[in-house]
């Protein structure tokens, strides 16, 4: 029996809706598709992608809109389309299969499954002719050599189970952190920054680890690796020099030509890295880039209701990057000859171009030229060109709202408020948090909101990233309510996702997964177990509740044995271990009376490079953070009380003294 119908028309995912008019009889992920495959004795073709994926668009136009391909799929397979951003657990399982077969992966992902959801072959993008051959071959082997299919599916399923991380059941020490730093330095590109060759992705977690190590004890090599990388990314085409914000990755080692997607998570992760680097180095470039990145999030990615949209794509098929690149004539058309010449010189615009069809992706050659780009004349020229660019067809924006990615944005915006003193960033973070509380957290945390619909049970990254965001919000707003909500969500995370056997959190509690995932390795986003480890240490410090410290100790025992040999791919976890070794410091600013804005002491402390410190204060009318309840000022003066663990130092009226107490850690990480 066949169902001549594309079943994606009732979905809310922008990616699934993009495919809802295909002649392929697509099903969404779920029991119904697999029951049909079993009843009709057909294999499943699983296609995974996301709405801003350029090569997903190419494969759609080349294959899924083609009737010949559709006829093959409809005749011989049950076809399932998955939005990887809605179902990251499904995506990760089958991505491991593809990487195991080929040594690399990517999207769109194309995997062939039995009706029992077991994979027997997979790949990524295929042009039509190759794809037709593959479909014919898969249909033939299913019909005529079923034993081969079952052998392959059994081997790949065993491979998936064997890849589950084995808990080390022992604490990591400073020597492992040093090994991780050594491994990073061996891969460090001294000329252009980053770790390894092209393509280059923004290395947010290695940079955060290196900065934490440097703040604990000055480390010139760690600082050099950080600043070289941040400066090169900021001057390159990876950063949108006209509109602000970062693209997905660079196709070259010099950060010049990006893959032009813009993801909320990349920008939310990069902004705090630049802000932290600014507090260390006082490099004005880092402040400006962080500010323009946060402005991009607030101005371009905010929904009217308060949440943040997911991504913008690279452009239409065949004209990827055209929106972001320039011809010389497009610049001289709107700028005076003198300013056009100066602008083109600063941003590398030439008649030949550095991109396709003689177009130029704007880049800046060095730090001195970057300083020139901040002159009033060039800033005005950027604004003029931005207005001109707005006349072009803007790339598609994926307007679904993901809880975890919004948690990352909340953290970034709070940091922006603390360092840049921009209240609109705090207000945007608060609006997003209230949106999540109202629409996504009222009856158990949900992952996705789109077109008025909230759905899909939250996965581990949603809990971990949102808890981190709420902890940042409690610090930025002086409202202990957000610390309480973070604690409640941590308890919910424990209840739903803790796995005693692995001494870690599984990635999701979804039904119908052939393995239980347990994520520790950092990818484009940080490991949610690594983030959870840091969250637990902060929760223990700001609430004083022993259950958080106890769970952190258990979780650290679940760090995989592989991390002892290759810590450089576990950098968010290594940073959390450094936090445990150094200790979380709480800086309580206490005073008589009440206030509606943070005290001057708070802003002064936030501007300092203090490793693993949380500044606590109480806003008028808000819930008082628990750690402040027992603190009192010295006389009528605002007073700072610094505590690390159960040890509190003498109260001080001197912010510099408080900063030294927060920075006085014994941890030294050597490579």
Give the DSSP H/E element, type plus range, for residue 111: strand 109-113
pLDDT confidence tier of residue 1, bands split at 50, 70 and 90: very low
Q: What is the DSSP letter of 645?
A: T
User: What local confidence, expressed as pLDDT, does residue 632 receive?
Assistant: 87
User: What local confidence, expressed as pLDDT, does residue 136 receive?
Assistant: 97
Average pLDDT, integer, range 9-22:
95
> Do residues 179 and 247 share a domain?
yes
β-strand partners of 640: 589, 652
User: What local confidence, expressed as pLDDT, does residue 181 receive?
Assistant: 97
- Whether the CB-CB separation of 610 and 660 falls below 8 Å is answered with no
User: What local confidence, expressed as pLDDT, does residue 629 receive?
Assistant: 84
> What are the backbone dihedrals phi and psi of residue 327, each rounded to the nearest 5 degrees, phi first?
-95, 150
User: What local confidence, expressed as pLDDT, does residue 3 receive?
Assistant: 55
- Whether the CB-CB separation of 211 and 618 falls below 8 Å is answered with no
β-strand partners of 109: 48
Q: How far is CA 334 from CA 186, 220, 323, 331, 362, in A?
A: 47, 45, 16, 6, 16
CATH code of residue 110: 3.40.30.10
CATH code of residue 447: 1.50.10.10
Query: Which pLDDT tens digit goes with each residue over 396-436?
Result: 999 999 999 999 999 999 999 999 999 999 999 999 999 99
β-strand partners of 122: 111
- Is residue 671 assigned to a domain? no
Query: Which pLDDT tens digit goes with each residue over 519-545?
Result: 999 999 999 999 999 999 999 999 999
Query: Which pLDDT tens digit goes with each residue over 109-152?
Result: 999 999 999 999 999 999 999 999 999 999 999 999 999 999 99
CA distance 366 to 355: 20
- Is residue 168 assigned to a domain? no
Overall pTM > 0.75: yes
Query: Which pLDDT tens digit goes with each residue over 436-484?
Result: 999 999 889 999 999 999 999 999 999 999 999 999 999 999 999 999 9
> Do residues 578 and 590 share a domain?
no
> Do residues 578 and 589 share a domain?
no
> What are the backbone dihedrals phi and psi of residue 352, each rounded to the nearest 5 degrees, phi first?
-80, -40
Give the CA angle between residues 383, 389, 393 to the nearest 5°: 150
Is cis: bond before 199, omega within 30 of 0?
yes
- Is residue 5 assigned to a domain? no
> What are the backbone dihedrals phi and psi of residue 245, each rounded to the nearest 5 degrees, phi first?
85, 160
> Do residues 55 and 158 share a domain?
yes
Paired tokens of 218: 């000055």
Total domains present in the chain:
4
CA distance 121 to 105: 13
User: What local confidence, expressed as pLDDT, does residue 248 receive?
Assistant: 96
> Do residues 385 and 486 share a domain?
no
User: What local confidence, expressed as pLDDT, does residue 362 receive?
Assistant: 98
Query: Which pLDDT tens digit goes with each residue over 487-524?
Result: 999 999 999 999 999 999 999 999 889 999 999 999 99
User: What local confidence, expressed as pLDDT, does residue 475 receive?
Assistant: 97
- Is residue 278 assigned to a domain? yes
Query: From the CB of residue 159, how many other CB atoms can be counted at a distance below 10 Å?
Result: 14
pLDDT confidence tier of residue 662, bands split at 50, 70 and 90: confident
Q: What percentage of residues in the chain have a pLDDT greater than 90?
A: 91
- Is residue 322 assigned to a domain? no
> Do residues 301 and 406 share a domain?
yes
**In the predicted structure, residue 56 carries a pLDDT above the cut 80:** yes
Residue with tokens 């936030």: 606
CA atoms within 13 A on the CB side of 526: 31
User: What local confidence, expressed as pLDDT, does residue 621 receive?
Assistant: 87
**In the predicted structure, residue 671 carries a pLDDT above the cut 80:** no
Could you tell me whether strands 397-398 and 311-312 are parallel, antiparallel, or unpaired per DSSP bridges? antiparallel
- Whether the CB-CB separation of 312 and 264 falls below 8 Å is answered with no
β-strand partners of 46: 80, 111
Q: Domain of 148?
A: 14-162
- Whether the CB-CB separation of 109 and 94 falls below 8 Å is answered with yes
* Range of weakest confidence among 70-74, 407-411, 423-427, 596-600: 596-600
CA distance 472 to 482: 9
| 453-490 residues labelled b (16+ CB within 10 A) or e (exposed) | ebebebbbbbbbbbbbbbbbbbbbbbbbbbbbbbbebb
Query: Which pLDDT tens digit goes with each residue over 360-404?
Result: 999 999 999 999 999 999 999 999 999 999 999 999 999 999 999
List for the chain the helix, strand, coil content (%; round to 5). Answer: 50, 15, 35
CA distance 7 to 74: 13
> Do residues 351 and 440 share a domain?
no
Paired tokens of 439: 């629409």
Residue with tokens 């052998």: 151
- Is residue 467 assigned to a domain? yes
- Whether the CB-CB separation of 398 and 311 falls below 8 Å is answered with yes
Query: Which pLDDT tens digit goes with each residue over 245-263?
Result: 999 999 999 999 999 999 9
Query: From the CB of residue 442, how many other CB atoms can be counted at a distance below 10 Å?
Result: 11
CA distance 66 to 64: 5
Q: Mark which of 132, 162, 192 sits at the end of a domain.
A: 162
Paired tokens of 423: 């209240």
Average pLDDT, integer, range 58-63:
96
β-strand partners of 48: 82, 109
Q: How far is CA 591 from CA 332, 477, 635, 655, 659, in A?
A: 58, 16, 9, 14, 18
Q: How far is CA 251 from CA 201, 202, 255, 256, 649, in A?
A: 9, 12, 7, 8, 50
Paired tokens of 224: 């050099």
Q: Mark which of 535, 563, 582 sits at the end of a domain.
A: 582
pLDDT confidence tier of residue 4, bands split at 50, 70 and 90: low
> Do residues 577 and 595 share a domain?
no
- Is residue 4 assigned to a domain? no
> Do residues 445 and 311 share a domain?
yes
CA atoms within 13 A on the CB side of 615: 29
> Do residues 306 and 352 share a domain?
no
User: What local confidence, expressed as pLDDT, does residue 2 receive?
Assistant: 52
> Do residues 218 and 207 share a domain?
yes
- Is residue 370 assigned to a domain? yes
Q: How many residues does the chain have?
A: 671
Q: Mark which of 389, 406, 432 sits at the end of a domain.
A: 389
User: What local confidence, expressed as pLDDT, does residue 628 receive?
Assistant: 86
> Do residues 348 and 282 share a domain?
no
Angle between helices 220-235 and 204-216 (to 10 degrees): 140
């Amino acid at each position: 029996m066949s169902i001549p119908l594309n079943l994606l028309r009732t979905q809310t995912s922008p990616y699934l809706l993009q495919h809802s008019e295909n002649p392929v009889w697509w099903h969404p992920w779920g029991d119904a598709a697999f029951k049909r495959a079993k009843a009709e004795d057909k294999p499943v073709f699983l296609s995974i992608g996301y709405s801003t994926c350029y090569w997903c668009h190419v494969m759609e136009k080349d294959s899924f809109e083609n009737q010949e391909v559709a006829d093959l799929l409809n005749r011989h397979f049950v076809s399932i389309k998955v939005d990887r951003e809605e179902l990251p657990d499904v995506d990760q399982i089958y991505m491991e299969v593809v990487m195991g077969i080929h040594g690399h992966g990517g999207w769109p992902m194309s995997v062939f499954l039995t009706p029992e959801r077991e994979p027997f072959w997979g790949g990524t993008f295929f042009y039509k002719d190759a794809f037709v051959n593959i479909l014919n071959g898969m249909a033939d082997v299913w019909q005529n050599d079923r034993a081969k299919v079952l052998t392959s599916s059994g081997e790949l399923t065993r491979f998936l189970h064997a890849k589950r991380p084995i808990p080390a059941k022992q604490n990591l020490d400073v020597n492992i952190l040093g090994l991780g730093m050594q491994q990073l330095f061996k891969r460090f590109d001294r000329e252009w920054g980053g770790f390894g060759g092209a393509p280059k992705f923004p290395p947010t977690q290695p940079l955060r680890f290196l900065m934490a190590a440097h703040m604990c004890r000055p480390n010139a090599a760690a600082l050099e690796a950080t600043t070289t990388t941040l400066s090169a990314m900021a001057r390159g085409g990876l950063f949108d020099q006209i509109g602000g914000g970062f693209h997905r990755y660079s196709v070259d080692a010099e950060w010049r030509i990006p893959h032009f997607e813009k993801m909320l998570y990349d920008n939310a992760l990069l902004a705090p890295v630049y802000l932290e680097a600014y507090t260390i180095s006082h490099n004005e470039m880092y402040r400006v880039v962080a500010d323009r990145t946060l402005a991009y999030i607030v101005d371009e990615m905010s929904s009217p209701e308060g949440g943040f949209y997911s991504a913008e794509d690279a452009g239409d098929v065949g004209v990827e990057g055209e929106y972001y690149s320039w011809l010389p004539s497009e610049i001289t058309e709107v700028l005076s000859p003198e300013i056009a010449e100066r602008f083109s010189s600063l941003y590398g615009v030439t008649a030949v171009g550095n991109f396709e069809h003689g177009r130029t992706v704007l880049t800046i050659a060095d730090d001195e030229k970057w300083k020139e780009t901040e002159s009033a004349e060039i800033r005005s020229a950027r604004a003029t060109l931005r207005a001109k660019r707005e006349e072009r067809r803007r790339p598609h924006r994926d307007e679904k709202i993901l809880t975890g990615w919004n948690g990352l944005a909340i953290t970034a915006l709070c940091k922006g408020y603390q360092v840049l003193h921009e209240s609109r960033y705090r207000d945007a973070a608060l609006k997003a948090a209230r949106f999540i509380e109202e629409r996504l957290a009222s009856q158990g945390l949900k992952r996705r909101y789109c077109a008025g619909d909230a759905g899909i049970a939250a996965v581990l990254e949603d809990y971990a990233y949102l808890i981190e965001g709420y902890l940042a919000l409690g610090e930025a707003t002086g409202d202990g309510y957000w610390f309480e909500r973070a604690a409640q969500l941590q308890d919910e995370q424990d209840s739903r996702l803790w796995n005693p056997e692995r001494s870690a959190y599984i990635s999701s509690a979804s039904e119908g997964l052939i393995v239980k995932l347990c994520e520790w390795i950092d990818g484009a986003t940080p490991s949610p177990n690594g983030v959870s480890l840091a969250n637990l240490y902060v929760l223990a410090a700001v609430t004083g509740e022993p259950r958080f410290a106890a769970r952190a100790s258990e979780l650290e025992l679940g760090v995989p044995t592989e991390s002892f040999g290759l810590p450089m791919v576990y950098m968010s976890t290594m940073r959390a271990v450094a936090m445990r070794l150094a200790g979380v410091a709480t800086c309580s600013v206490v005073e008589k009376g009440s206030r509606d804005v943070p005290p001057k002491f708070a802003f002064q402390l936030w501007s300092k490079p203090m490793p693993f410190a949380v500044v606590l204060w109480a806003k008028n009318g808000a819930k008082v953070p628990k750690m402040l309840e027992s603190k009192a000022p010295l006389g009528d003066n605002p007073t700072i009380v610094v505590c690390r663990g159960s040890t509190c130092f003498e109260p001080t009226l001197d912010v510099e003294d408080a900063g030294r107490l927060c920075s006085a850690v014994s941890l030294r990480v050597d490579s």
